[in-house]
Structure formats: structure tokens, C-alpha cells
Chains A and B, each alone.
Chain A
């Protein structure tokens, strides 16, 4: 299957600073990528859809000025958590769909565990 790589896997930052998370499709091009957030013992919640060359589409309740998404190329999307606060601590995971011959299957990065102190 296709490979989606996410970096960093773990980050600790101070309250008020910004953190950038990268999501790369390694062996396919992705015009659309997706960002999710997962709190402990909960499911994955869709935050936004990242569109190459255009603005991201955010889900209701997600602050677009806090979670900046840039999809500058067909293989890279970035999520920047601006002015992070402890309540932003969470597991962030990205996804992209790849045509695998039987349909557009979604593949996920390894995730980024963000801790804001």
C-alpha cells in the first residue's frame, strides 16, 4: 500500500509557541490530505481537509487561525498549531487517499503526539 509519513512523531513545546507538523505522501501524489485529532480514549475527529494550491476546509468548531494548514505541493501538507496552549495537547494524524487499483484507499501517517507545557 501507499505510504504517508508524518514528522515529528512527538513534540513538547512551551505554551504560547507554535509547532509545525509535516505530512508527506511518499510514493503517490495527493491533491487532498486530511488532518485529524485524537484525544485519549477517544476516536479520531476530522479537523480539516487540505487542498493543494487552495485554502483548507475546516470542520465546524475548528479554529482556522489556530490551526494553519498549508498544502503547497502534491506530496506535502503542513499543520501549524499557533500559540499553543495545554488544551491543544493531543495526537494529530494526517491522511491521504491513494488509488490502489481497487479504489481510493486512505492511508494514515504515524501521528504526532503534541504536549504543550
Chain B
């Protein structure tokens, strides 16, 4: 099956810092999404990005499908950005990586 690797597993930042989260995947897919899981478990859709680049406020993402990786950029981080970020890929069902736990302190 598809393998999804996220790095780093943990990230600690000061408020205002920038960060890059990476997602590598093993096979061709037609769906790649980034999620933020809030403390109550709800998955918040950040980006649907099987290829190309998208931006939404302080967040942006780039997927290079031919090289099977995606990057999530967080600029000027805020304490509210803390939480777990998941990359998920697939052709039908989404397969999740293990996530990056981000902690932003003030």
C-alpha cells in the first residue's frame, strides 16, 4: 500500500517564526490533502493539493507530484497554530501520515 512519511515529527517554535512541514509519499495519487487536527479531534481541511501551489493567508502548500512530495509552509506562526498537522494521500481512500505536532509559544 501507499506509504506516507511526514517530517519533522515534532516542531517547537516561538511566535512569529516560519516553518516548513514535509510529506513524502510512495506512489502516484490523485488526492493529497493537508489537515490541522484541533484539540477536540476535528480535522480542519487546509489544502486540497494533488499538484501545484496554493496559498491561504499565512499558510501555503506546494506539491511536486512527479517527485512525490508536498510541503506546507506556515509563516508568522501564532499560538493558535499549535496542534497536529496531517498529510493524507490516496487514489480512493486517504492514507494518513503520522503527523507533525507543532507547538508555538508566545
Contacts and interface: CB of A to CB of B under 8 A. Distances in A.
Contacts of B99: 43
Given A106-B31, A106-B88, A110-B41, A95 B94 contact: yes
A103 B41 contact: no
Contacts of B35: 108
Interface magnitude class on chain A:
20 to 34
Interface string A101-117: 01111111011010000
Contacts of A36: 96
**Consensus secondary structure, chain A interface:** strand
A104 B41 contact: no
A103 B31 CA distance: 8
Interface of B: 30-31, 33, 35, 40-43, 45, 48, 50, 86, 88, 92-99
B45 A105 contact: yes
Given A32-B92, A46-B93, A49-B93, A105 B33 contact: yes
Given A49-B92, A95-B93, A110-B42, 7 more contacts: A42-B98, A43-B86, A44-B86, A46-B93, A91-B41, A108-B43, A113-B41
Contacts, number: 56
A106 B50 contact: no
Contacts of B97: 43
A17 B88 CA distance: 33
A46 B30 CA distance: 18
A104 B94 CA distance: 11
Given A34-B94, A49-B93, A107 B45 contact: yes
A1 B43 CA distance: 13
14 contacts: A34-B93, A43-B96, A45-B96, A49-B92, A93-B43, A95-B93, A102-B48, A103-B30, A103-B31, A103-B48, A106-B94, A108-B43, A111-B42, A111-B43
Interface string A27-51: 0000010101010001111100100
Contacts of A103: 30-31, 48, 50
Q: Top 4 A-B pairs ranked by shortest CB distance?
A: A105-B48, A108-B43, A111-B41, A44-B96
